[in-house]
Structure 1
Amino acid sequence: MINYQPFWETLKASGESTYSLIHDYSISSATIDRLRKNRPLSTSTINDLCIILGCSPENILAFTPPSPETKENDIFLKHRSLPRTRE
């Protein structure tokens, strides 16, 4: 599962704020909400945040592999069991 905890730490260290992201850099309030709720972001948005904050993607997001009990793991296992076709 991807989470954006590193973003909040990077934002604080940068001296920027959610206000400045919205008003000075035209990051939408919906994007800030997606970050707060750990919802998916496009790679373009992650790229923009990296440029604004002068950082790398690992300073924006973190990945934690799913535990065996989660739905995310069910999706992964289902995908792996699909037959592969050769072209």
Structure 2
Amino acid sequence: MISYDPLWRTLKEKEISQYHLLKSGIDNKTLDNLKKNKNITLLTVEKLCNIIQCSPNDIVEFK
């Protein structure tokens, strides 16, 4: 199972809002998919890493 719990922790630690993600090119549907632990593309993971300045391990974990 995929979990994006690390993403929410990372955003909180770095004080980055969901609004900032939206303004940086992440769309509403993608944010909704993240909240529901649905699949996203590796391109989106890369985009999130660039926006947040982190590694994929800071965004997703496999349980």
Q: If the length of structure 2 is used for normalisation, what is the TM-score?
A: 0.94
After superposition, the C-alpha distances for 1:26-60 in whole angstroms (9 at most, x for unaligned) are 21011110000000000000000011111111100
The alignment's C-alpha RMSD in Å is: 0.7
Matched AA of 1:55: C
- 5+ residue gaps in structure 1? 65-87
Work out which structure has the larger RCO, using CA pairs closer than 8 Å and 6 or more positions apart in sequence.
2
Q: Are 1:20 and 2:20 counterparts?
A: yes
- Higher Cα radius of gyration: 1
Matched AA of 1:32: L
Q: How many residues align?
A: 63
CA distance in 2, matches of 1:50, 1:30: 18
What's 1:46 paired with? 45
CA distance in 1, matches of 2:21, 2:51: 8
- 2:54 counterpart SS class: coil
- 5+ residue gaps in structure 2? none
- Counting aligned pairs with the same residue, the percent is 41
Matched AA of 2:22: I
What's 1:63 paired with? 62
